[in-house]
Chains A and B, each alone.
Chain A
């Protein structure tokens, strides 16, 4: 069902424990972590609690260690059976949420070094997103510069909900560097929990948080559009990762409609916003909150007004589907080829570049 040469745009690699990062951290920060006993923590996030069933498909749970924490398991579950040409590894870790900007950077560096050595070096099919301290765009830009020479890093990873909305000018130093190096900004579902995931306040239940994540993505996209990030950085692309899919056409319709009336507030936004989204924004297609029948599915896809926006992703090891039902049934072959291969290649220019 998955055509050959597919590109899996969202595979989760889990850091088993901060202890595993120590060899990959600078001596100063290694000592800092050890003196504070931080290696006994793993900064698990309440967005992705390891115990939540949705975060690990039962047949993908290893005997020991966290789901997504073992390369042989990833090979056995995804790389060998589905045979993607590439799989892009995204690490979600508490390092991205820590308040201390310096410790956040130190841990993110450790994660990136660990990713390169323990994963990318060991399987040539793997690519990765650069993990950065998102609340410190200058330090984040530094980390991107440090790794930009390694073409196996193909994207910069942020979470949808951070300290400030992602379009704010505060964030622009990071976008400038990402654009310069041909790295899309991946906006993954999740929050650093500086603010409630629902704009109405803190919910009581995990369910609320989880469902609100799609609104977090909508908010991030609204901010990127309204602040003019796509005008300021004409070569920058944004990939919404694990955002769900079907909310986007309705959200864009509302954005267009309101923009017509208040566009003088954002005079740089001088084209239909939905057209900008079609050109510059991509979505990973898992989880795909697809309707059960092919006709309704195609009608939703039609509302996107573009067949270039969706990117194939297994979202390994999260439990959104069983067996190999990674894409909804009923996709025409042409679209299937686009989603699984052409669109990812067009989105991530580095996939076509030579790696050492």
Chain B
């Protein structure tokens, strides 16, 4: 595992996402209300580009007819067969314990610290004035 600088924070505003390639793997990096998350861009069902699906809310109902929209913008819906996954954990809505998309830990680091290493910045030019999204792959 190594830490990879994948984007400047300003590139991915809240509600936004960026698909990056790290060590040959496509990864979707998401910003939910200022917190960053990363998921593999491959659906555990049949391999669709999961992170390019619609970002949706959790629709729940404790009882028939009692509709609740909870946690807006926290789920990703696979573009192929519409399975939903929790962006923060990769867990599927339907079988959270058994069907998961691989998730990666993400942090935000100031450019100043990054300049010292040991980080890999294959595609992102780092300047000391900005903060960066760093994914552990």
Contacts of A264 in B (CB 8 A): 56, 59, 84
Whether A270 pairs with B82 at a CB distance below 8 angstroms is no
Contacts of A263 in B (CB 8 A): 84, 93-94
User: Which of the candidate stretches B2-10, B21-29, B61-69, B103-111 sits at the interface with the other chain?
Assistant: B61-69
Contacts of A267 in B (CB 8 A): 59-61, 67-68
Is B83 close to A, CB under 8 A? yes
| From B59, B63, B83, contact of A231 by CB (8 A) | B63
A64-78 CB contacts (< 8 Å) to partner B: none
List 9 contacting pairs A-B, 8 Å CB cutoff, sorted by A. Answer: A228-B61, A228-B63, A231-B64, A232-B63, A261-B82, A263-B93, A263-B94, A267-B59, A267-B60
B47-99 CB contacts (< 8 Å) to partner A: 56, 59-68, 81-84, 93-95
> How many residues from A make CB contacts under 8 Å with B?
15
Contacts of A1 in B (CB 8 A): none
| From A259, A260, A268, contact of B64 by CB (8 A) | A268
Is A262 close to B, CB under 8 A? yes
Known: A231-B63, A231-B64, A232-B64. A272 touches B95 (CB 8 A): yes
Q: How far is the CA of A259 from the CA of B56 in the complex (A)?
A: 17
Is A227 close to B, CB under 8 A? yes
Whether A260 pairs with B83 at a CB distance below 8 angstroms is yes
Whether B61 pairs with A268 at a CB distance below 8 angstroms is yes
Contacts of B56 in A (CB 8 A): 264
Q: Which A residues form the contact surface with B (CB < 8 A)?
A: 169, 227-228, 231-232, 259-264, 267-268, 270, 272
Q: How far is the CA of A263 from the CA of B78 in the complex (A)?
A: 13
Whether A228 pairs with B64 at a CB distance below 8 angstroms is yes
Contacts of B59 in A (CB 8 A): 264, 267
Q: How far is the CA of A169 from the CA of B66 in the complex (A)?
A: 14
Contacts of A272 in B (CB 8 A): 94-95
Contacts of A231 in B (CB 8 A): 63-64
Contacts of A268 in B (CB 8 A): 61-66
Contacts of A270 in B (CB 8 A): 60-61
Contacts of B83 in A (CB 8 A): 260-261
Contacts of A260 in B (CB 8 A): 81-83, 94
A176 to chain B, nearest CB (A): 13
Q: A267-B59, A267-B61, A272-B94 are in contact. List 19 more A-B contacts (CB 8 A).
A: A169-B64, A169-B65, A228-B63, A228-B64, A231-B63, A231-B64, A232-B63, A259-B94, A260-B83, A260-B94, A261-B82, A262-B82, A263-B84, A267-B67, A268-B61, A268-B62, A268-B63, A270-B61, A272-B95
Q: How far is the CA of A294 from the CA of B101 in the complex (A)?
A: 41
CB closest chain-A residue, reference B69: A267
CB closest chain-A residue, reference B57: A264
Contacts of A262 in B (CB 8 A): 82
A80 to chain B, nearest CB (A): 47
CB closest chain-B residue, reference A172: B64
Contacts of B64 in A (CB 8 A): 169, 227-228, 231-232, 268
B130 to chain A, nearest CB (A): 38
Contacts of B60 in A (CB 8 A): 267, 270
B125 to chain A, nearest CB (A): 41
Contacts of A261 in B (CB 8 A): 81-83
Q: How far is the CA of A270 from the CA of B93 in the complex (A)?
A: 8
Q: How far is the CA of A261 from the CA of B80 in the complex (A)?
A: 9
Q: How far is the CA of A272 from the CA of B81 in the complex (A)?
A: 16
Q: How far is the CA of A232 from the CA of B63 in the complex (A)?
A: 6
CB closest chain-A residue, reference B67: A267
Contacts of B66 in A (CB 8 A): 268
Contacts of B81 in A (CB 8 A): 260-261
Contacts of A259 in B (CB 8 A): 94
CB closest chain-A residue, reference B62: A268
Q: How far is the CA of A6 from the CA of B128 in the complex (A)?
A: 81
Contacts of A227 in B (CB 8 A): 64
